[in-house]
């Protein structure tokens, strides 16, 4: 079956075309085309995602990426779709809230026709509501023209499936054993989830304040580094480790001995701020770029000390969750799972402490938001392999009705 997938929950717009052969979880996935556009530069100066900008950029890029994905797949038919006036009016109606999108799509269909699409998978939450709506409305508009079914996808479920997608093994999902634990770490989530089977989620721990990705982004901002902060911090931290720079600050490991599986990262961010203010005579306020007085070495050392504290905390809680549930599999997903230091620390810890538990991190290109993961989850749900609504356990705050 040919699946078109759309991701627009935060600051990445993604559209992919996948041919899926077989049933979940033993299907073979062929990625025909995948187009991704990051709005990073648009949000950079604000230090985080601005919803109205995200909405505008998604609307701008949806038709551009649609063309790009179909072109890459070599599936774009070079003749007009000859839309009727009623079809054009319907597109205007479906896309009324997305400025310029209906006109752009009508123009697209005046040039091209699409082949038969079996399914359109679209993220419908969790995420920024105005951003999600662009993708959902776009999916509905495409469904109207192509006759394809639309399947709503939970973004976090997409992250879980991306982490077990094995590009080296004929593009199949890894054959995992249950029970499993999923650690989801992204810009908006930090959650530990017990999985007794595919699609069965029981949240056993979560952050009480900031998500771990958010903490990376805020500390980066404090240090005057651009958004998103995760990759910046981790580059500096690696540099500090390779040069064995001395400790800048002894940072807390928040809630590490709390006796439950919850997290808290806002205190850690504040501890970084106070440590910086203490050592250097500057007002280290977020976004104020007040830490210009820090030397490059000091900045790198702060980044490393912060990354160490985060890693130790995530590792301790996850290790406990795995021990408590007797999990045979650990799935780590979400943008922060792109962090290679965290990945190495987990792999080495689990190898020694939980040798019976197999650890999965995503292929780097699938760690941060993308639409391939939405196609994987869409296929699984359409296949009936994941029961409808089963993703509730991992939070679906998006609009549910399509």
Judged by the rule CB under 6 A, the positions of this chain that interact with ligand KG4 are 10, 186-188, 213, 216-217, 228-231, 234, 334-336, 338-339, 368-369
- Binding segment (CB under 5 A) for Zn ion, from list 241-249, 294-302, 369-377, 379-387: 369-377
Rounded-to-integer distance, Cα 189 and Cα 185, Å: 6
**Using CB distances below 5 to 8 A depending on partner kind, what does residue 322 bind out of ligand KG4, Zn ion, none?**
none
Instruction: Among 37, 186, 298, 395, indicate the residue that binds Zn ion (CB under 5 A).
Output: 186
CB of residue 112 to ligand KG4, shortest distance in Å:
30
CB of residue 12 to Zn ion, shortest distance in Å:
8
Cβ contact 380:25 at 8 Å? yes
Name residue 149's beta-bridge partners. 119
**Using CB distances below 5 to 8 A depending on partner kind, what does residue 336 bind out of ligand KG4, Zn ion, none?**
ligand KG4
Any contact of residue 369 with Zn ion (CB under 5 A)?
yes
**Using CB distances below 5 to 8 A depending on partner kind, what does residue 374 bind out of ligand KG4, Zn ion, none?**
none
CB of residue 364 to Zn ion, shortest distance in Å:
14
**Nearest-CA neighbor of 1 among 150, 118, 120?**
118
- Cβ-Cβ contacts under 8 Å for 365 (sequence gap 6 or more): none
**Using CB distances below 5 to 8 A depending on partner kind, what does residue 234 bind out of Zn ion, ligand KG4, none?**
ligand KG4
CB of residue 22 to ligand KG4, shortest distance in Å:
27
**Nearest-CA neighbor of 130 among 59, 186, 62?**
59
**Using CB distances below 5 to 8 A depending on partner kind, what does residue 252 bind out of ligand KG4, Zn ion, none?**
none
- Stretch 212-251 residues interacting with Zn ion (CB under 5 A): none
Q: Which residues of 198-228 are buried (b: 16+ CB within 10 A; e: fewer)?
A: bbbbebbbbbbbbbbbbbbbbbbbbbbbbbb
Minimum CB distance to ligand KG4 smaller for 186 or for 313: 186
**Using CB distances below 5 to 8 A depending on partner kind, what does residue 254 bind out of ligand KG4, Zn ion, none?**
none
- Binding segment (CB under 5 A) for Zn ion, from list 102-110, 121-129, 182-190, 224-232: 182-190
Cβ contact 205:192 at 8 Å? yes
Minimum CB distance to ligand KG4 smaller for 130 or for 229: 229
- Cβ-Cβ contacts under 8 Å for 401 (sequence gap 6 or more): none
Minimum CB distance to ligand KG4 smaller for 98 or for 217: 217
Minimum CB distance to ligand KG4 smaller for 163 or for 320: 163
**Using CB distances below 5 to 8 A depending on partner kind, what does residue 152 bind out of ligand KG4, Zn ion, none?**
none
CB of residue 125 to ligand KG4, shortest distance in Å:
11
CB of residue 373 to ligand KG4, shortest distance in Å:
9
CB of residue 228 to ligand KG4, shortest distance in Å:
4
Name residue 360's beta-bridge partners. 331
Minimum CB distance to Zn ion smaller for 210 or for 369: 369
Rounded-to-integer distance, Cα 203 and Cα 197, Å: 14
Place of tokens 């999985």: 195
- Cβ-Cβ contacts under 8 Å for 121 (sequence gap 6 or more): 3, 4, 5, 6, 150, 151, 153, 374, 375, 377, 378, 379, 381, 382
Any contact of residue 264 with Zn ion (CB under 5 A)?
no
Minimum CB distance to Zn ion smaller for 10 or for 291: 10
Rounded-to-integer distance, Cα 394 and Cα 399, Å: 15
CB of residue 400 to ligand KG4, shortest distance in Å:
18
CB of residue 388 to ligand KG4, shortest distance in Å:
22
CB of residue 335 to Zn ion, shortest distance in Å:
5
**Using CB distances below 5 to 8 A depending on partner kind, what does residue 393 bind out of Zn ion, ligand KG4, none?**
none
Rounded-to-integer distance, Cα 167 and Cα 173, Å: 9
Residues near Zn ion, by CB under 5 A: 186, 369
């Amino acid at each position: 079956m040919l699946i078109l997938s759309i991701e627009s929950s935060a600051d990445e717009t993604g559209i992919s075309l996948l041919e899926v052969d077989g049933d979940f979880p033993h299907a073979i996935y062929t990625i025909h085309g995948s187009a991704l556009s990051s709005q990073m530069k648009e949000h950079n100066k604000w230090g985080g995602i601005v919803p109205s900008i995200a909405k505008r950029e998604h609307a701008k890029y949806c038709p551009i990426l649609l063309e790009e994905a179909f072109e890459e797949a070599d599936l774009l038919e070079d003749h007009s779709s000859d839309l009727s006036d009623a079809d054009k009016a319907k597109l205007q109606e479906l896309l009324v809230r997305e400025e310029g999108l209906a006109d752009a799509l009508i123009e697209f269909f005046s040039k091209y026709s699409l082949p038969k699409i079996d399914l359109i998978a679209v993220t419908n939450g969790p995420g920024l509501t105005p951003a999600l709506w662009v993708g959902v409305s776009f999916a509905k508009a495409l469904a109207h023209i192509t006759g394809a079914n639309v399947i709503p996808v939970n973004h976090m479920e997409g992250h879980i499936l991306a982490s077990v997608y094995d590009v080296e093994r004929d593009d199949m999902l890894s054959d995992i054993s249950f029970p499993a634990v999923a650690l989801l770490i992204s810009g908006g989530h930090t959650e530990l989830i017990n999985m007794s089977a595919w699609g069965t989620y029981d949240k056993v721990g979560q952050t009480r304040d900031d998500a771990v990705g958010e903490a990376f982004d805020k500390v980066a901002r404090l240090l005057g580094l651009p958004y998103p902060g995760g990759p910046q911090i981790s580059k500096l931290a690696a540099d500090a480790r390779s040069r064995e720079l001395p400790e800048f600050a002894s940072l807390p490991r928040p809630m590490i001995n709390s006796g439950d599986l919850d997290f808290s990262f806002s205190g850690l961010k504040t501890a970084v701020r106070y440590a910086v203010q203490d050592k250097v005579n500057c007002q280290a306020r977020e976004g104020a770029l007040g830490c210009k007085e820090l030397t490059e070495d000091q900045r790198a050392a702060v980044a490393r000390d912060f990354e160490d504290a985060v890693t130790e905390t995530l590792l301790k809680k996850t290790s406990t969750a795995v021990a408590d549930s007797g999990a045979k599999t650990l799935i780590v997903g979400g943008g922060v799972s792109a962090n290679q230091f965290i990945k190495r620390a987990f792999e080495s810890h689990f190898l020694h402490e939980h040798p019976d538990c197999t650890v999965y991190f995503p292929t780097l290109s699938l760690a941060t938001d993308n639409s391939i993961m939405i196609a994987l989850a869409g296929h699984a749900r359409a296949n009936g392999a994941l029961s409808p609504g089963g993703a509730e356990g991992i939070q679906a705050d998006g609009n549910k009705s399509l």
